[in-house]
Amino acid sequence: MKKEIKYLIMLIMFFFTVNLSAQEGLQISDVFQYYGKEHGSTMVQLSSEILSSYNMTLYISLSFHPSTKGNKGLDWVTDCINQDKKRAKKIKETMLDGKLQSGYYQLSQIQKGTNRFILFKINQKQKATLIYIEGSLDSAELVTMLFNKK
């Protein structure tokens, strides 16, 4: 029994470490870490069974209301995205009154065949959604998946 618990703990730590290293070097990892544990936020990570059918190896989404107090508000979130977009190969953004409303960023590959994407949107009620994706899917597949209603 003790061996099973020890094995389970090691397995959980491995997956936690893999997820943190997947976003290593990206500023949005700070956003996921900060808002992922905030009350009212929802963070979703898809299982490997679902991911493989979409040619993804990692999918993490976070829905949250950026703070209106302190230094971790919407400006901080968009600053983190702006830092990461400097490394992007493809950028598509929607701005309203000079503020980011939505963004699509394809980052450089972390290894051959593994593409990385950041998606961001904030609605009129100031609810933000931040998504990080890794996988062999290309930008055309991702756009098709996003806009294909099933």
**Phi, psi for 135 (deg, rounded to 5):** 160, 180
pTM > 0.75: yes
Percent of the chain at pLDDT above 90?
A: 63
Cβ distance 109 to 89 under 8 Å?
A: no
In a domain, 123, yes or no: yes
**Residues 118-124: contacts with CB within 8 Å, 24+ apart?**
118/26, 118/28, 118/81, 118/84, 118/85, 118/88, 119/146, 120/81, 122/66, 122/74
Query: Residue 80: which residues within 8 A CB-CB, separation 6 or more?
Result: 27, 28, 30, 31
Task: Quote the number of domains for the chain.
Answer: 1
Is 20 inside any structural domain? no
Answer yes or no: is 95 within a domain. yes
pLDDT at residue 21, rounded to an integer: 46
Distance CA 138, CA 147 (A): 15
Domain assignment present for 111: yes
Q: Please indicate, yes or no, if residue 11 is contained in any of the structural domains.
A: no
Domain range enclosing 58: 26-147
- pLDDT per residue as tens digits for the range 7-63: 444 434 444 444 444 566 899 999 999 999 899 999 999 988 889 889 999 999 999
Mean pLDDT value of segment 108-135: 94
Banded pLDDT at 105 (limits 50, 70, 90): very high
